[in-house]
Structure 1
Amino acid sequence: MGRYEQNAKRYEKWRKEGRGSGTGAAYLPWLNVYDVPSQGRSHRVFSKKCGRVLHCMSDLEFSAYLLLEWSEHVTDIREQYPLAMPQTQFIANSLGFRHPQVRGEQMVMTTDFLVNTNNPNAPLLALQVKPSSELLKARVCQKLLIEKSFWEDNNVPFEVLTELELNTVKTENLRWLSPFFNEVVMIEHMPETLSFWEDIFSQNPNSKMVTLASEIDRQQNNESGRSLYTLRVLLAHKYLTFDFDIPFFEVLASEVSVLPCGHFLCA
């Protein structure tokens, strides 16, 4: 448990390392998955959008990350973002709450995600991710009020995200595609590839997308899963798309849209 200790000496070391500073690929989270006790599964995942590995402390945080990574409106994600302790201490005192501490040591509070967007009216958004059951705990609510006040004082919108706000089907679809977010695609072959799938979908509108992939492998004597692999890559890079409110295994060929290849070649 020694590695999980937080104290002034460790905080000074982390500041010298540059934790909690930078943007994009240069950002270093204040906490990483090795610094805190596990609460379920933690995730270290490379974000193409940020150009670095992100640290998610739970499955719920990973689900939130997937939605942020997929969004066209999000331009950068900074996880485990530290809040200035003098300000959170002042807020806690003003509210009459005990400031978070560990073994008597004042603790740096963090926000799970500080998100940059391309919305000029709301360029930043602070997100705290919590299981809904945690919101029934008085002490958790106190900490959230301190955090909310911190971001309000800094004119940044603050939201608490629970599993109840997540679209479960969309999240599962993104989990299915996420291993392929960083897969390399061959742009020069894309027109032929998209034309092939567009023909397949138009000829078999009532077949399920995943079933069609298996059938193509059988007809062409491909290695099992090859066509489904291709589909997942194309979907992960948004060359193909479907309504993410539909589970991927239920999607019909007629419900898959093939986006114009020129859109990507000129992007």
Structure 2
Amino acid sequence: MARSKYAPSETKYKRWIKEGRGNGFGSDYLPWITVRDVPSDGRSHRVFGHKSQRTHHLLSDLELAVFLTLEWNSQTTDIREQFPLKREETLNIALDNGIKHPAEAGVKLYMSSDFLVDGLDLQLPQYVIQAKYINALKDPRVIEKLEIERRYWLLKKVPWFLVTENDVSPTLVQNISWIYPAEQDEIDDEILLDRTAYYSDLFQQNPNKTVTDICKLTDRIYNQTDGSSIYEIRQLLANRCFYFDMLSQPFHLLKGKDFVVENMGNLIGARHVSNQ
């Protein structure tokens, strides 16, 4: 049977290391795993980060929710997703604790943490988050791998946290569920730029009107089908052309003043890089 393109190999790992994956900070960081490196189940996301000014690779809806929580936290300064652990160290931890190290097709896998986070809090300047759905924690093997990861960071004196869907804001989940299906839509850069400029002006002109009222008025003025404007905004948000505090309230209650336009030059540049 043909070897899957997603299968691990030492050759692949050497290439990733040569590419600089797992290295860098801010806009220069390269995640160890990208959405192209795992089978697509429709739940992976490439999301532009306002803090980092680069595209982040998130492998589940839960990772997306955690990322956005970190993104909107004013204490967060850098988010490095899919951060690799040194394989020789995880192998030693597994051996010392009688845990079988993750392997596939005879290849010892590089383990990774979902997020390595830097922040301004002097009591917690750096920490790690692993995001797991509650159902996954019923698998003893998952627990074993988490224990290797926990001990890895314990040795490095970096706080490690396990986050489940129960730890995420329901409002954030609601906003994500509404906005992010639109990220699958293919939109040209020029259209994104034009629509962003248009709605940015519209929000500034109507700072105290709700987004739903603004969109209803726009549809009526331009004789558009009801819902046309709200869907365009949904697409812009999914592409991170605007950002807002997704933790505070549901999208439909937001007002024009709640939306902040992104640095479009950096965003478009990041789109080109992530599509190469």
**TM-score after normalising by structure 1:** 0.75
* 3-state secondary structure, aligned to 1:116: strand
2:251 aligned partner: 248
What 5-or-longer segments of structure 2 have no aligned partner? 184-188, 261-276
* Gap change, CA 1:114 and 1:248, over 3 Å in 2: same
Q: d(CA) in 1 for partners of 2:47 and 2:211?
A: 26
**Which of 72, 82, 85 pairs up with 2:84?**
82
Alignment match, 1:206: none
3-state DSSP class of the match of 1:159? Answer: strand
Return closer, same or farther for 1:144/1:245 CA change in 2, 3 Å cut-off. same
Cα distance, 1:124–1:44 mapped onto 2, change above 3 Å? same
2:35 match: secondary structure: coil
Asked whether the equivalents of residues 43 and 58 of structure 1 are also in contact (C-alpha less than 8 Å), the reply is yes
| Number of the residue aligned with 1:27 | 29
**Between Structure 1 and Structure 2, whose CA radius of gyration is higher?**
1
Q: 1:2 to 1:197 in 2, by over 3 A?
A: same
2:36 partner amino acid:
Y
So what's the TM-score if we normalise by structure 2? 0.73
Q: Relative CO higher for 1 or 2, CA cutoff 8 Å, sep ≥ 6?
A: 2
Aligned to 2:155: 153
Residue 63 (structure 1) shift? 2.1
1:132 is aligned with what amino acid? I
Structure 1 residue 85: deviation in Å?
Answer: 1.2
Instruction: State whether residues 67 and 171 of structure 1, in contact with CA within 8 Å, keep that contact through their aligned partners in structure 2.
Output: no
State the partner residue of 1:168. Answer: 170
Secondary structure of the equivalent of 1:2? coil
CA distance in 1, matches of 2:212, 2:48: 30
Distance 1:102 1:176, change over 3 A: same
Residue of structure 2 equivalent to 1:216: 217
One-letter identity of the residue aligned with 1:213: I
CA contact (8 A) 1:216 1:227 kept: no
Determine the structure 1 residue equivalent to 2:126.
124
CA displacement 1:41-94 (0-9 Å, x = unmatched): 222222232222211112222222222222222221111111011211111122
Pairing of 1:196-207 with structure 2 (within 5 A): 196-198=206-208, 201=209
1:143 has 2:145 as partner: yes
Amino acid at match of 2:218: D
CA RMSD of aligned residues (A): 3.4
Change in 2 beyond 3 A, CA 1:176/1:104: same
- Cα deviation, residue 176, structure 1: 4.8
SS in 2 for 1:171: helix
Q: Percent identity over the alignment?
A: 33
Aligned to 1:265: none
For structure 1, the 5+ residue unaligned runs are: 202-208, 262-267
Is the 1:214–1:228 contact (alpha carbons within 8 Å) kept by the matching residues of 2?
Answer: no
Distance 1:39 1:151, change over 3 A: farther
Structure 1 residues 49 and 211, CA, compared in 2 at 3 Å: closer, same or farther?
Answer: closer
Residue 37 (structure 1) shift = 2.9
Retained in 2: the 8 A contact 1:92–1:146? yes
Q: Does residue 54 of structure 1 match 2:56?
A: yes
Per-residue deviation, 1:245: 5.2
2-structure distance, mates of 1:35, 1:227: 33
Could you tell me how far apart the structure 1 residues matched to 2:177 and 2:73 are? Answer: 14
Alpha-carbon contact 1:129-1:161 (below 8 Å) kept: yes
Residues 26 and 197 of structure 1, relative CA distance in 2, 3 Å threshold: closer
* Kept after mapping to 1: 8 A contact 2:113/2:129: yes
Could you tell me whether the CA contact under 8 Å between 2:46 and 2:58 is conserved in 1?
yes
Amino acid of the structure 2 residue aligned with 1:86: E
